[in-house]
Structure 1
């Protein structure tokens, strides 16, 4: 399957629509409900999403395509959950269910990460065990050296944090 990333600068509505599926899937990993469905049957807007269309050069939004079909999205920024300097962070990553388990996520993650040299940080929710295994494999494939894995539980993050350098 041919997996590509498409800059989503002019596809805000598409990302917002996909975010409904993302929040629905991610709700499985909440210890307590984080958001409620609105009376319109939708989850509320994700506040940080606005910043991806505000011209901030440290943020990038991409659609994931598999054989040209829409398959998900990836959002990148430079936020650090650990509090340590980071050049890049996978802020949000979503692959629609029909495209999971066939290599689309791996190809998309590596396409987002490997061209960007510098210090990466990827934070994964404590209860999202499948994602923890996935991101460990991605870090191992992308890192130029050692991968630092920490377990953090504070006001910045609750879960695993991977840090590595892409050279």
Structure 2
């Protein structure tokens, strides 16, 4: 498949916002997310990925058409100097076809070095995908921690690792 990942700016925010609705819909199976009175899920941090230093948005495409996104940041308290794959989504039609693994590698390659990412324990597909992928791309040890961060409504697994091109 012709997978590409490109850094996007404010002009592409509507595409990411549309994909975000699909992502949050999927996520509502694993965490308590509610629709607004307008029938939309709220993601109050989206604007920051188009305006704040240390935050970046990437559009994942397959054959030139939107297939998902990645939101990354390097401003996570306690992880100074590390990039965090804060949100990652691939539409259902491309799952299980290698698109996600290829896209993640492309995103990580943008910032070689220390990375962190987390997933919800209840999200069984994520709990299968992320450990295998991280083990495949990590250079050196992978540090894994389970818990429930204060700002997250459900238990998570968090990993820290290094990625080099």
Shared fold, TM over 0.5: yes
Q: Residue 74 in 1 paired to residue 70 in 2?
A: yes
What RMSD in Å do the two structures reach over aligned CA positions? 1.7
Query: How big is the shift at 1:156?
Result: 5.0
Matching of residues 78-97 of structure 1 within 5 Å: 78-80=74-76, 83-97=78-92
2:141 matched to which residue of 1? Answer: 146
Paired residue total: 161
Residues 23 and 148 (structure 1), Cα distance of their counterparts in 2 relative to 1, 3 Å cut:
same
Gaps of 5+ in 1: none
TM-score, structure 2 normalization = 0.89
**In the aligned structure 2, how far is the partner of 1:108 from the partner of 1:132?**
18
1:165 matched to which residue of 2? Answer: 162
Q: Residue 130 in 1 paired to residue 125 in 2?
A: yes
Matching of residues 7-156 of structure 1 within 5 Å: 7-9=7-9, 10-30=11-31, 33-34=32-33, 36-44=34-42, 46-54=43-51, 56-80=52-76, 83-156=78-151
- Measured against aligned partners, the alpha-carbon deviations of 1:5-48 in whole angstroms (never above 9, x if no partner) come to 02221201111111111110000111xx23x223332223x111
Query: How big is the shift at 1:77?
Result: 0.5
Query: How big is the shift at 1:85?
Result: 3.5
1:6 matched to which residue of 2? Answer: 6
**In the aligned structure 2, how far is the partner of 1:73 from the partner of 1:149?**
24
